[in-house]
Chain A
Amino acid sequence: MLIGTVVLAGLALGLCAVLVLTDRLLPAGRDPVAEQVESLLPRIQCAQCGYPGCRPYAEAIAAGDADINRCPPGGEETVRRLADLLGREVPALDTTLGNASMNRVARIDERNCIGCNRCVPVCPVDAVVGVQQTIHAVIAAHCTGCELCLAHCPVDCIDLVSRDA
Chain B
Amino acid sequence: MLEYTPDRRPTGGLRLPAHKEASTAQPIARGFVPGTLILALQQHQGPPTTPVVRRGERVLKGQVVARARALRSAAVHASTSGHVRAIEDRLVPSVHAIHRTRCIVIDADGEDETRPGSGAAWPKDPEEQLEHIRDGGIVGLGGGVFPTAEKLRPHTPCKVLIVNGVECEPYISCDDMLMREAAAEIIDGALIMRDLLAAPECIVAVERDKPQAIEALLEAGRASGDASLKLADIPTVYPTGGERQLVEMLTGEEVPSTHYPSEIGYICQNVGTAYALHRLVRAGEPLLSRVVTVAGEGIARPQNVETPIGTPIGELIEFCGGYVGDVDRLILGGSMMGYALPNDEMPITKGSNCLIAAVRREVRQDFSERFCIRCGNCATACPARLLPQELLRAARDNDHALLDEFGLNDCIECGCCDVICPSHIPLTEVFRNAKFAHARYQRQEVFSAETQQRFKRHEERKRANVQRGKARQDHLRHEVETDEAARQKAIEAAIKRARQRRGNDSDAE
Contact = CB atoms under 8 A, between A and B. Distances in A.
A54 B452 CA distance: 9
A102 interface: yes
A124 B455 contact: yes
B454 A126 contact: yes
A43 B458 contact: no
B448 A44 contact: yes
Interface string A115-128: 00000010111110
Nearest to B448: A43
A71 B398 CA distance: 19
A43 B449 contact: yes
A126 B451 CA distance: 10
Interface residues of A, number: 16
A152 interface: no
A50 B457 CA distance: 22
B446 to A, nearest CB: 11
B234 to A, nearest CB: 45
Contacts, number: 32
B451 A125 contact: yes
A48 interface: no
A43 B444 contact: no
Interface in A114-151: 121, 123-127, 142, 144
A125 B448 contact: no
Contacts of B455: 43, 45, 53, 124-125
A126 B448 contact: no
B6 to A, nearest CB: 46
B448 A42 contact: yes
A140 to B, nearest CB: 12
Contact of A45 (B451, B457, B462): B451
A32 to B, nearest CB: 17
Nearest to B458: A126
Contact of B454 (A42, A77, A125): A125
A126 B460 CA distance: 12
A142 B444 CA distance: 12
Given A43-B449, A77-B398, A127-B454, 18 more contacts: A42-B448, A43-B448, A43-B451, A43-B452, A44-B448, A44-B451, A45-B451, A45-B455, A54-B452, A102-B444, A121-B462, A124-B454, A124-B458, A125-B455, A125-B458, A126-B454, A142-B454, A144-B451
5 contacts: A43-B448, A45-B451, A102-B444, A125-B454, A144-B451
Task: Please provide the 9 A-B residue pairs with the shortest distance between their CB atoms, ordered closest to farther.
Answer: A125-B454, A43-B448, A43-B452, A45-B455, A124-B455, A126-B458, A43-B451, A125-B451, A44-B451
